[in-house]
Structure 1
Amino acid sequence: MRVFVTGATGWIGSATVDELLATGHQVTGLARSDESAAALERKGASALRGDLDDLDALKRGATGSDAVVYLANKHDFGPESDRAERAAVEAILGELVGTAKPFALANGLSGLVRGRAVVETDASPEVGPHADRGGSENLALDHVERGVRSMIVRFAPSVHGVGDWGFVKFVADAARRRGVSGYLGDGSTQWSAVHRSDAARLIRLGLERAPAGVRLHAVAEESVSTREIAEAVGRALGLPVSSIATAEADEHFGFIGGFYGLDMYASSARTRELLDWTPTGPTLIEDILSGAYGVAE
């Protein structure tokens, strides 16, 4: 397949490009800069210059492909990012109507359900242009009846590996900055995790095999407690480990404090059965202890 990838040089996107190329697919990645374009071309992919605000570029990428993977995000967690995602996804979907082309849209697990693991049949409550991420998950699924093979790929809060710049990196950075590796309260908050290579393989399998309208969970470990994460970070960095009061979360962790106290965990049982996907990468704790987020000097 010829696959158009937004976010193609990002943390998950770059691994996805590698996975697609390694399995014989052709890739065009959206590139915001000459540097990003050159990085894609060195891998053997093509580059399409543009960004999420360049709707014409997004339309060209979708029209010229057999499949689209949407992994880009402005990461400002605000209305501007939500509006941009809504407009970008609408532009791409408009080009895919009636084609039966696969469209894989990235989303997270936050805010879906409380008190249990999220499962693939749990619908997102975010609907409409003013919702979180512009309601893009439901927008994509609404286009199934319009002839788009839409699928949602929900990622664990930790997509880990060497070079990770996500949530666990911020936890490790806070530990170095404060001189103690912390967890909130009793540390029982649960996060799911998946290695970056396994997430990339899941996306590729989804494009190749998933039927229209499914939600796929990129989850290798259903639940890892934040206390386990903190203890592994402390061991790797040679720092003490301590509980942090919830009222001090922002002071200790920075912006990540608001997420560190949230349960974000999910099952991937249906995904594994549907796609015959078996994660093989290191666990989150193995990555932390092996030095993926720094080691004690």
Structure 2
Amino acid sequence: MMPGKHFKVQEVSCCIKYFIFGFNIIFWFLGLTFLGIGLWAWSEKGVLSNISSITDLGGFDPVWLFLVVGGVMFILGFAGCIGALRENSFLLKFFSVFLGIIFFLELTAGVLAFVFKDWIKDQLNSFINNNIRAYRDDIDLQNLIDFTQEYWECCGAFGADDWNLNIYFNCTDSNPSREKCGVPFSCCTKDPAEDVINTQCGYDVRSKTDAEQRTFIYIKGCVPQFEKWLQDNLTVVAGIFIGIALLQIFGICLAQNLVSDIEAVRESCLFS
């Protein structure tokens, strides 16, 4: 180096470095949360076998979705954290490339969901009807369908008559159940004055006329109620998805920026 001459040494931006670290800590904890949910559900063997049977996905267990998503988020968060702290360009490139792949898959899934919305609607209908058939087989599935009907203020997939699919609620002459031609209590309209739930409110209700049924139970099915909820909350739902997409793009840009800084520092060290 010639005396009297000074070379400006490139530095890695500390702001970007620690921002990526913080970004990935959140990502890492979210991955741990998903893994925890998946592992907890995996331990509930009876629940899992019933969930697998009603999804109609060839034995695919939905808990695997939690485990895979949680595992991917955990690995990416770990790679981003270590890559930022250790200024490891390989881990940062790994993080940004796979985050880009996930973003592309999400975009593809969104387009396919829009194109095949009728197929998704049919799958939702099938899922609810399978739940109806298995309503008394498992307490967790029973709670799931009760929560759905209470939350959406609905009954059945497309109406109360869908409960004919259940052996305890169907209206056939051979049905000896006291719940014959009825619906679960979660289909009943709520009286604000009642503090205690009347679990027998749905007994014999489907043997009444349509006009009489309206005063006792929800008439609309859960599929159209879900569609209505999506339309009413379209802005919120779209905002959440756009926000997630922007965070992913932001993370990719920051990681690539940090990689550029790291490589520039290495080059400046070589030529200084």
TM-score tier (shorter): under 0.3
**Bigger Cα Rg:** 2
Q: Which has the higher helix share?
A: 2
Question: When the two structures are superposed, what TM-score results if normalisation uses the length of structure 1?
Answer: 0.21
* More relative contact order, 1 or 2 (CA 8 Å, 6+ apart): 2
Q: TM-score, normalised by structure 2?
A: 0.22
Indicate the structure with greater strand content: 1
